[in-house]
Structure 1
Amino acid sequence: MDGNQSTAAVLGGSVSGLAAATGLIRIADFDRVTVYERQEYDEKRVDCGEAINDTTLIPLAPTPENGFVNDVDGFQLRVYDGTDRPVDAPPLATANLHCEPGYICERDVVERRWAAALEARGVEFRTGRSVSPNDYADIVDSYDYVVDASGQPSLTLKARGETLEYTGDMVALNATVEGDFSAYANWPRIFFEGYVGYAWAFPKSDSHANVGIGWAGDRRPDDYFGALETAAERNSFPVPDRSDVNVATIPKGPSLDSARAYYPDENVFLVGDAAGIANRYQGEGICQGIRSAYLLATLIANGNESAYPQELYDLMRSEYRLAHLMRGTWVEHEDPELLASIADALEGLTIDDVTRRPATVLRRIVSRPTTAIELFADAGMLGRIYGSYTDTWEYSSV
């Protein structure tokens, strides 16, 4: 990094933006970092992404005071044959996936405490006002580096009129509810029910939880709220009040060519949702966003920021590959029994295994020849395998 280039603006103060500010101060040793966040940290900001699978990425002690309210053992997958079933119908399969560094969080608290820690280290926060197009232009002119963590579609692509470059999104509804979750507080549940997506109940304590439902495919219900309510009834968690439900859209990672994550003419970089990265099957994006921000800071510190697009793609490639294949188990087959067999094969793995390690998952599936033959003896799945291992997604690979 040139010694005269020591100022950075971070657009967006959620987890990806906070990670960018952390990396720029801690790794790249910037003199001045300013975070622009449209909301105030002492107000209700988010009610999604309450499960954080790797809290070691966040530079806070994992305590309730910092928002880490439930130290889980892992997550339990439950596979059912569909949504039209009795409430007491047993699952076709369950699989417990371990997650030692995982917590269910009060994300508002996590972000507020993280921002306070950064402010104590000299990071400036400008909150409570959105960045307008004119503001954006002024910021780009005023800082040596700009990190866009504003979400999808990003402020950068809005300014360039290129928001259609994103290739898809996922829709999720969630809310915090009160109830008795003591039976599975340590093993939050994820319900696969015969559509591309899932429902969930993530306890924050024995008596309250974040619950929700999301869809990743093209076939979605006409009434999202009604679908959440019926999911709650059949999966035996409280029905949220509609006024408490948050609706979110998230990237269908990769939803943006990673070449679009860097604009060298203005020294603008995109991280997290703004860069279109997320798990393309289950929609997780918190840890992915944090990792992208730390990667960028490391490259800047090494004077190698031009490598960011390729390094970002390399960081995410295994996850894209595995999620593309896992999503195909339903899209190409629509067979709950097959999905149940795959869930059985995954029993005892970690969340990191089933999101980031294709070889580990494939070894488990291949160890069950009947399941493997049924899964891969399909033209659609063979096409997915080819696409995964030639890095062919919605756009040409970098």
Structure 2
Amino acid sequence: MDDNQSTAAVLGGSVSGLAAATGLLRIAEFDRVTVYERQEYDDKRVDCGEAINDTTLIPLPKTPENGFVNDVDGFQLRVYEGTDRSRDARPLAKSNVRCEPGYICERPVVERRWAEELEARGVEFRTGRSVSPDEYADIIESYDYVVDASGQPSLTLKANGDAREYTGDMVALNATVEGDFSAYANWPRIFFEGYVGYAWAFPKSDGHANVGIGWAGDRRPDDYVAALEAAAERNAFPVPDRADVNLATIPRGPSLDPDRVYDPEANVFLVGDAAGIANRYQGEGICQGIRSAYLAATLIANGTESAYPRKLYDLLRSEYRLARLMRGAWVEHEDPDLLASVADALEGLTIEDITRRPATVMRRVAKRPSAALELVADAGMLRRLYGAYTDSWEYATEREPDG
């Protein structure tokens, strides 16, 4: 390694890796930043994560040419009793949550344009093949810093034989479909239907959308694609062609002990999915991954790399707590009317509120005394509340089930 610590490698060139390269470019003493990405940016890439709630994190003009195709006002949450219902069944609740910096994106375009901007600024890209175990070892020896944004399980943990350290995941299926989405292009829909997870229809324009379904709990269907097709039928969006369906596995954050996200001997930082971080309630990991990458770069710049595990956890703790409690509203009660009451309480809040500000959400729910009392009048919910505020997660010594 260079004593001047002037080189960095980024493993993985999706949004978290691109954010890491962006952050590292701000550090003047870095002579070389290299991104290793297994796919080509011109090829079809997984399009999961096309609803980006905070696009201010991405340093590109918010234009269709850069992949930002639908500037949404927010998202509409719809709560139903379950999946056994007709297409014209009325929801138990409809709630609009605002999201001013949110866009529905063509994510492959966003990533390609972001990579082009970074390459123009001097970042080297090595694309089109996976990093082998031997090459991983060479990278560790050759670069002063390594940011692992390779996903879950990460290249780092696989190389160390520790891939099983991750303790939770969520599964999501999605595809882009053609249809008439003009009725809700500005308010994409999220459908809660009596399982730990949800379906969605996120219009990219009046005529096409990203649609999908995901599961965060342990009860999952035998045939994922058939479940997506059934969700499309009952929620009145086009059934995607099976050949167009993408499957993604993402962390049920936090699914990795924070102590594992930084290797001080090799100067390796895990970010995004590789670090096991995502919102454990609604599955979002894009903004979380970007923030983790910027944090790592900032600490490198400040010479305080060892603080990364603690700082990353501090950054996400409130989000973890709120998401654990929100999941508990269904997991501990399995009462659609109660979930509908909670959804009603969220009307008019922002996505930032309902993902990162527990106190704001709790104040709203407290204004509905019957719902608030029912939520906490349950031993499982009380355990969940205690666990959330004592930072008890799956990787703890005594692991707790989380539906």
The two structures have a TM-score, normalised by structure 1, of: 0.98
Q: Residue 326 of structure 2 aligns to which amino acid in structure 1? A: M
Q: Is the 8 A contact 1:325 1:388 kept in 2?
A: yes
Residue aligning to 1:61? 61
Give the C-alpha shift of residue 223 in structure 1.
1.3
Give the C-alpha shift of residue 3 in structure 1.
7.1
- Once residues 172 and 316 of structure 1 are traced to their aligned partners in structure 2, the CA distance between those partners, rounded to angstroms, is 22
Q: Closer, same or farther in 2 for the Cα pair 1:42/1:239, shift >3 Å?
A: same
Residue aligning to 2:240? 240
- Which portions of structure 1, spanning 4 or more consecutive aligned residues, are displaced by more than 6 angstroms? none
Residue aligning to 2:264? 264
Q: Is the 8 A contact 1:13 1:37 kept in 2?
A: yes
Residue aligning to 1:344? 344
- Once residues 249 and 95 of structure 2 are traced to their aligned partners in structure 1, the CA distance between those partners, rounded to angstroms, is 27
Give the C-alpha shift of residue 27 in structure 1.
4.4
Residue aligning to 2:160? 160
1:32 aligned to 2:32?
yes
Give the C-alpha shift of residue 225 in structure 1.
1.0
Where does the alignment leave 5 or more consecutive residues of structure 1 unmatched? none
Residue aligning to 2:299? 299
Q: Is the 8 A contact 1:28 1:297 kept in 2?
A: no
Give the C-alpha shift of residue 43 in structure 1.
1.0
Q: Is the 8 A contact 1:177 1:211 kept in 2?
A: yes
Residue aligning to 1:369? 369
Q: Closer, same or farther in 2 for the Cα pair 1:319/1:29, shift >3 Å?
A: farther
Q: Is the 8 A contact 2:10 2:33 kept in 1?
A: yes
1:1-398 to 2 correspondence within 5 Å?
A: 4-27=4-27, 29-396=29-396
- Once residues 303 and 3 of structure 2 are traced to their aligned partners in structure 1, the CA distance between those partners, rounded to angstroms, is 11
Q: Residue 15 of structure 2 aligns to which amino acid in structure 1? A: V
Q: Indicate the SS of the match to 1:277.
A: coil
1:165-208, Cα deviation, whole Å (9 max, x unpaired): 00011111100000000000000000000000000000000000
- Once residues 167 and 335 of structure 2 are traced to their aligned partners in structure 1, the CA distance between those partners, rounded to angstroms, is 27
- Once residues 239 and 383 of structure 1 are traced to their aligned partners in structure 2, the CA distance between those partners, rounded to angstroms, is 40
Q: Residue 286 of structure 1 aligns to which amino acid in structure 2? A: I
Give the C-alpha shift of residue 47 in structure 1.
1.6
Alignment length, in residue pairs? 396
1:195-227, Cα deviation, whole Å (9 max, x unpaired): 000000000000000000001111111111111
Q: Residue 222 of structure 2 aligns to which amino acid in structure 1? A: D
1:128-152, Cα deviation, whole Å (9 max, x unpaired): 0110000000000000000000000
Aligned-pair Cα RMSD in Å: 1.0
Q: Residue 261 of structure 1 aligns to which amino acid in structure 2? A: V
Q: Residue 251 of structure 1 aligns to which amino acid in structure 2? A: P
- Once residues 268 and 187 of structure 2 are traced to their aligned partners in structure 1, the CA distance between those partners, rounded to angstroms, is 41
- Once residues 24 and 248 of structure 1 are traced to their aligned partners in structure 2, the CA distance between those partners, rounded to angstroms, is 28
Give the C-alpha shift of residue 395 in structure 1.
2.1
Q: Indicate the SS of the match to 1:234.
A: helix
- Once residues 47 and 284 of structure 1 are traced to their aligned partners in structure 2, the CA distance between those partners, rounded to angstroms, is 13
- Once residues 21 and 246 of structure 1 are traced to their aligned partners in structure 2, the CA distance between those partners, rounded to angstroms, is 26
Identity within the alignment, %: 84
1:264-308, Cα deviation, whole Å (9 max, x unpaired): 111111000000000001110000000000001111100001000
Q: Residue 66 of structure 1 aligns to which amino acid in structure 2? A: N
1:347-395, Cα deviation, whole Å (9 max, x unpaired): 0000000000000000000111111001111101100110000001012
Give the C-alpha shift of residue 46 in structure 1.
1.6
Q: Indicate the SS of the match to 1:256.
A: coil
- Once residues 188 and 215 of structure 2 are traced to their aligned partners in structure 1, the CA distance between those partners, rounded to angstroms, is 19
Q: Residue 12 of structure 1 aligns to which amino acid in structure 2? A: G
Q: Is the 8 A contact 1:28 1:298 kept in 2?
A: no
Q: Residue 188 of structure 1 aligns to which amino acid in structure 2? A: P
Q: Is the 8 A contact 2:172 2:214 kept in 1?
A: yes
Q: Is the 8 A contact 1:170 1:251 kept in 2?
A: yes
1:62-83, Cα deviation, whole Å (9 max, x unpaired): 0000000000000000000000
Q: Indicate the SS of the match to 1:249.
A: strand
1:304-359, Cα deviation, whole Å (9 max, x unpaired): 01000000000010000000000000000000000000000000000000000000
- Once residues 281 and 291 of structure 1 are traced to their aligned partners in structure 2, the CA distance between those partners, rounded to angstroms, is 18
The two structures have a TM-score, normalised by structure 2, of: 0.97
Q: Residue 105 of structure 1 aligns to which amino acid in structure 2? A: C
Q: Indicate the SS of the match to 1:39.
A: coil
- Once residues 359 and 256 of structure 1 are traced to their aligned partners in structure 2, the CA distance between those partners, rounded to angstroms, is 26
Q: Indicate the SS of the match to 1:239.
A: coil
Give the C-alpha shift of residue 396 in structure 1.
3.0
Q: Is the 8 A contact 2:168 2:394 kept in 1?
A: no
- Once residues 261 and 336 of structure 1 are traced to their aligned partners in structure 2, the CA distance between those partners, rounded to angstroms, is 37
Q: Is the 8 A contact 2:38 2:129 kept in 1?
A: yes
Q: Indicate the SS of the match to 2:385.
A: helix
Q: Indicate the SS of the match to 1:274.
A: helix
Q: Residue 122 of structure 1 aligns to which amino acid in structure 2? A: G
Q: Residue 273 of structure 2 aligns to which amino acid in structure 1? A: D
Q: Residue 171 of structure 1 aligns to which amino acid in structure 2? A: V
Q: Residue 288 of structure 2 aligns to which amino acid in structure 1? A: Q
Give the C-alpha shift of residue 28 in structure 1.
6.0
